[in-house]
Each structure stands twice: as C-alpha cells, then as structure tokens.
C-alpha cells in the first residue's frame, strides 16, 4: 500500500509522537521549536486526514478549552517503518516498539497524562538550557540532556541496560552537567511517575527495587560511574509520598543499621504529581528522606 506523501516537518511530528507517545499541539510546536502556530495546525490537520495520526478531543463546553492530544495512527506507524531512527547510526525503528503503538487508542487516561507530563519535563529542561546559555556566568554553566523510555529501549542505546532490568522502568533519565571553571561534574537522575491506579503493594515493590538498585551498585557496574543516580519518585497522593518516605527510612536502616552509615551520595527524592505538574521538574519540590534521618 502506497502512503500519501507528507513533508519532512510532518515526519518530525511522527517521530515526536513515537518518542513521547501522546502530545498536545502546544507541546509539539515547542518541541519542534516552531514559531508559526497556524502552520503546525495545518500539518496536524493534514496528518489526521491522511490517517497518520489520531487525536483525543472533546466538544464538551468545558473540555473544549483544552488542547487536543495527538498519537500515532496506522499510517503513521507504517511510515516510521520506512524511516531511520538515528541519522548518525542509520538504525531503523525497533519493530517490537512500533507494534506497541497500534494499541495507543486503548491507553488509559493515567498513561496519557504521564506521557504529557514527561514531555512537559523535557520542555522545562530545554528551557533551562536556553536560559543558562543566555545568562550563564563566564566559566560556569549547567546543561541537561534527557533520555526517554523510547530512547533507551533501543538495543544500541548507551542506556539500554535500563530496559533490561526486570522491575525498573524509569520514565526519564536526566543527565545534568555542570561546568565550574575547568571542572565538569555530571549527575544522573532516574524519574518515575507512578500511576494512581497502581496498587499499594506494587508501589512498595517498585520503591524497594530502586533502593536495591542504588545500594547494590548496578548503575556503577553498567556505566563505570562511581556515583549512583539520584532517584526521583513522583506519587499521585500526598499520603503515598509520606508512606514512601517512611518505608525508605526503614529499608535503608535495615541495610545500614545507622543513619550515619548511609553513603552521602545515595539520594532518593519524592514529590507529588500535582507538584510536578504545577511547578516543574527543576523546581524545589523534591523531598529527600535523608533529611529525616539527620544526615
């Protein structure tokens, strides 16, 4: 079957929807760094007409004020099969991952909301990068790079080891690089946004898995980095966050017996989904269990 022709910019939209799964028009425009709103709307309308993408849009009076949410449709997936995932390596899109996109229309609202929130986080990091570049002091700079789940799923990606873990599946891996004079300091962050539908026992299990991951040095073994990543966990309810902090304290003390023995480079931080939505990923929203242990 021959596909209808689309522009390179429209192909870029398909690639963004593969990477983030669900995006609204504002996010697509910002990720493309495109100034012309009307042009983006025309591209999206044409892609819908040609069945490359589909949208979630309500004509209800209240919901109508919210931007439409877009995701890949049948022809969009077919098109991606013909495109290159990475221009430098020439790698194609993983077929197993492309097949998952056939089920996008059946995704839960929590899955969609999490996808939108991850995209907002990436946009925030891009904005911080631009601000720091424009106003950074001489000899000092901060820069963020980020790796989505769709990125590290690729077997050839440097962070593919995250996809091979039996339990963990961070929504975003963030690399913060600080340059101070002639010294470069790199800090890694693993972010997971928990669904409100996730049972308590699974929340506890995932928390325990992250603690085990940083304690046992799995990250260091894969990356040769002596510092474990900072774990960022986002909970749907404040009560879940409070329980997670208490449980983290117990698990760490079970391992180290005394708060003073906990490694200084071991950081597990918590926030609520609402805080992340309203203030952004780089805001001072993250609570650290260490503070309650006197360290």
Tell me which of 110-119, 220-229, 276-285 is least confident: 220-229
* 1 part of a folded domain: no
Helices (H), the chain: 8-20, 25-31, 37-49, 74-80, 95-100, 109-135, 149-152, 200-215, 218-223, 238-256, 273-279
pLDDT in tens, 136-171: 555 568 899 999 999 999 888 899 999 999 889 999
- Same-domain check for residues 132 and 272: yes
* 242 part of a folded domain: yes
Residue 192: closest CA among 212, 162, 164, 215: 162
* 55 part of a folded domain: yes
Residue 184 pLDDT: 86
Its domain, for residue 62, covers 8-107
Spatial neighbors of 104 by CB under 8 A, at least 6 apart, are 21, 22, 54, 71, 72
Last residue of a domain, one of 107, 126, 147: 107
The tally of domains found in the chain comes to: 2
- Same-domain check for residues 143 and 252: yes
What mean pLDDT comes out for the span 168-192? 91
- Same-domain check for residues 239 and 264: yes
pLDDT band at 180 (very low <50, low <70, confident <90, very high): confident
pLDDT band at 255 (very low <50, low <70, confident <90, very high): confident
- Same-domain check for residues 90 and 115: no
* 276 part of a folded domain: yes
| Choice between 26 and 290, residue whose per-residue pLDDT is larger | 26
- Same-domain check for residues 133 and 87: no
- Same-domain check for residues 145 and 66: no
Strand order across the beta sheet in which 69-72 lies: 23-24, 69-72, 53-56
* 2 part of a folded domain: no
Last residue of a domain, one of 107, 124, 148: 107
- Same-domain check for residues 100 and 216: no
* 31 part of a folded domain: yes
* 159 part of a folded domain: yes
CB 132 within 8 A of CB 144: no
């Amino acid at each position: 079957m021959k596909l209808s022709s689309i522009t390179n910019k429209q192909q870029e939209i398909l690639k963004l929807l593969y990477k983030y799964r669900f995006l609204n028009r504002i996010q697509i425009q910002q990720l493309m760094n495109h100034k012309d709103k009307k042009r983006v709307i025309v591209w999206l309308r044409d892609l819908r007409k040609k069945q490359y993408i589909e949208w979630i849009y309500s004509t209800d009076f209240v919901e109508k004020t919210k931007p439409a949410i877009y995701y890949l449709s049948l022809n969009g997936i077919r098109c991606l099969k013909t495109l290159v995932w990475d221009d430098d390596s020439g790698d194609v899109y993983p077929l197993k991952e492309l097949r998952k996109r056939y089920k996008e229309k059946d995704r839960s609202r929590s899955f969609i909301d999490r996808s939108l929130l991850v995209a907002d986080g990436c946009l925030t990091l891009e904005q911080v990068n631009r601000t720091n570049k424009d106003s950074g002091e001489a000899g000092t700079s901060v820069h963020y790079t980020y790796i989505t789940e769709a990125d590290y799923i690729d077997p050839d990606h440097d962070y593919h080891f995250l996809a091979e873990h039996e339990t963990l599946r961070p929504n975003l891996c963030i690399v913060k690089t600080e340059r101070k004079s002639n010294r470069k300091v790199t800090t890694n962050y693993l972010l997971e946004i928990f669904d409100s539908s996730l049972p308590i026992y699974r929340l506890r299990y995932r928390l325990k898995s992250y603690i085990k991951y940083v304690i046992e040095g799995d990250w260091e073994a894969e990356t040769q980095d002596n510092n474990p990543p900072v774990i960022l966990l986002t909970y749907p309810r404040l009560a879940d966050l409070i329980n997670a902090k208490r449980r983290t304290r117990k698990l760490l003390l079970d391992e180290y017996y005394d708060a003073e023995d906990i490694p200084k480079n071991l950081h597990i931080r918590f926030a609520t989904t609402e805080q992340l939505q309203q203030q952004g990923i780089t805001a001072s929203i993250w609570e650290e269990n260490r503070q309650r242990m006197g360290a």
